[in-house]
Amino acid sequence: METMVSPALVNQEVSRPATIPGFGRELKSDEMVINMGPQHPSTHGVLRLELVVNGEVVVDMIPHIGYLHRCFEKHAEHMTNYQQVIPYCDRMDYIASMNNDLGYAIACERLLNIKVPERVEYIRVIMAELNRIGSHLIAIGTYGMDIGAFTPFLYAFRDRERILDIFEQTCGARLLYNYIWIGGLSHDVPANFQEKVKDFCKYFRPNIKELNDLLSYNKIFIERTANVGVLPADVAINYGVSGPVLRGSGVAWDLRKDDPYSIYDRFDFQIPVGDGKMGTLGDCWDRYMVRVREMEQSLNIIEQAIDKIPAGDVQSAVPKRIRPDSSDIYVRTETPKGELGYYIVADGTTSPFRVKVKSPCFVNLSALPAMSRGAMIADVIAILGSIDIVLGEVDR
């Protein structure tokens, strides 16, 4: 059976069927191939996992993707305008659309050598961080549900609702915003925006503690996630994973600090990394906790930025006609899932010749078989949830 990993990278011992001494002959237990997904409650969309199991123990696993492939890259080539690609970017990682748009907008602005106004930069950072909190809330809530705790899921959605209300007030959409444009924004923020965002920060901080009390430090939750799906730092780097999955393994790598874009270099915030507090460094609990602590850091950034928004016109730098010279550019940004890269080739026309996306979810998912071998079926669910994939971005 072909697998996605080289044997050298497999860190966990592969358990093979045991031979039981019988009466005169060896009794051999059999492996069973079991199909998880694409219609399964916990594969976070249309992911299919082919599991080879020995009882409850997973001997091997092959992820099958492509059920949500919507030809993003081909669509991008056939638009009449660079601007028209943005709604398609929304639909990749559809729970963090602001972050997707931000990466594409920055790539196009660098192609065109546009300097966007300060007001736009501040609003973009606030929106991206709000969306990061929203995305992490979904990751944490659904992770609780994967482990069997239903209630934290709805608590997370209750808080995310506040964020979506702010987005809706700003650009009319609650999921697919089409808000961050090349060179600016689609709308200016409403008059009470600052007040609403401050209210949210004040409201949300205590709720992180509530979430920790309810789920993060729950004994059963720790039992289920600590020491499960351990991804050591060297294996993580070899797989090229990024985002909370990489930071959960103890590698402090965050593009907002290490390769700053927009105005992230002006803010004071930490990069939370996993510390193996509850079990082994790089286990599911570490990856989970990195997200919880990142939400706090995002709040810090928002609070620093919200009072400094300068006055100005958010559309003053939006180009009338987008026609970059023949050139190419690679821009990477830190989305909630990890390192999202856009490689754009311009051919001097009004539409891109090629748009290639380096998707963090796709790369992170590739590490799943290595983490899952030797685990139990229930652990596969826990590991998959801790990676936090969005199939819209895996398949594009």
Partner 1 sequence: MKELLISILQNEILVYVLMAFVPLLWILPFALFAVWWERKIAAHMQDRLGPMRVGGWHGWAQTIADILKLIQKEDAVPAAADKFLFALAPFVVFLGSYAAFAAIPFSAAYVGSEINIGLFFVLSISSLVVIGLLMAGWASNNKWSLFGALRSAAQIVSYEIPVAVALLAVVMVVGSFDLQEINRAQSGMFWNWFVFQKFPFLFIACIIYFVASLAEVNRTPFDIPEAESELVAGYHTEYGGMKFALFFLAEYANMFAVSAIAATVFLGGWNSPFGDFMSGPLWGAFWFITKGMGFVFVQMWLRWTLPRLRVDQLMYVGWKVLIPFSFVVVIGVGLWIMMAQ
- Interface contacts to partner 1, rule CB under 8 A: 32, 34-35, 40-42, 56, 144-151, 154-155, 158, 214-215, 218, 220-221, 223-224, 376-379, 381
Contacts of 320 (CB under 8 A, 6+ apart): none
Residue closer to partner 1, measured from CB, 44 or 247: 44
**What phi, psi does 304 have (nearest 5°)?**
-70, -35
Residue closer to partner 1, measured from CB, 61 or 322: 61
Residue closer to partner 1, measured from CB, 115 or 219: 219
Residue closer to partner 1, measured from CB, 120 or 278: 278
Give dist(CA 123, CA 104) in Å, integer.
Answer: 16
Helices 151-171 & 193-211 angle (0-180, nearest 10): 170
Give dist(CA 309, CA 266) in Å, integer.
Answer: 13
Minimum CB separation of residue 221 from partner 1 in Å reads 5
Minimum CB separation of residue 230 from partner 1 in Å reads 16
Residue closer to partner 1, measured from CB, 40 or 354: 40
Paired tokens of 173: 């959409």
Helices (H), the chain: 72-77, 86-90, 97-112, 118-147, 151-171, 193-211, 219-225, 233-239, 244-248, 255-258, 284-306, 360-366, 368-372, 377-387, 391-395
Paired tokens of 160: 């995310």
Neighbours of 34 (CB within 10 A): 12
Residue closer to partner 1, measured from CB, 132 or 224: 224
Give dist(CA 110, CA 116) in Å, integer.
Answer: 10
Minimum CB separation of residue 19 from partner 1 in Å reads 21
Give dist(CA 323, CA 110) in Å, integer.
Answer: 12
Minimum CB separation of residue 149 from partner 1 in Å reads 4
Minimum CB separation of residue 4 from partner 1 in Å reads 23
Give dist(CA 239, CA 161) in Å, integer.
Answer: 35
Minimum CB separation of residue 148 from partner 1 in Å reads 3
Give dist(CA 96, CA 160) in Å, integer.
Answer: 12
Residue closer to partner 1, measured from CB, 25 or 219: 219
Minimum CB separation of residue 210 from partner 1 in Å reads 11
Give dist(CA 123, CA 101) in Å, integer.
Answer: 13
Minimum CB separation of residue 39 from partner 1 in Å reads 9
Q: Computed from CA positions of residues 106, 107, 108, 114, in that sequence, does the dihedral angle turn out positive or negative? A: positive
Residue closer to partner 1, measured from CB, 151 or 327: 151
Residue closer to partner 1, measured from CB, 163 or 241: 163
Give dist(CA 379, CA 298) in Å, integer.
Answer: 29
Minimum CB separation of residue 285 from partner 1 in Å reads 12
Paired tokens of 198: 């401050």
Residue closer to partner 1, measured from CB, 40 or 266: 40
Instruction: Judge residue 15's burial from the number of C-beta atoms within 10 Å of its C-beta, 0-12 exposed, 13-18 middle, 19 or more buried.
Output: middle
Minimum CB separation of residue 378 from partner 1 in Å reads 5
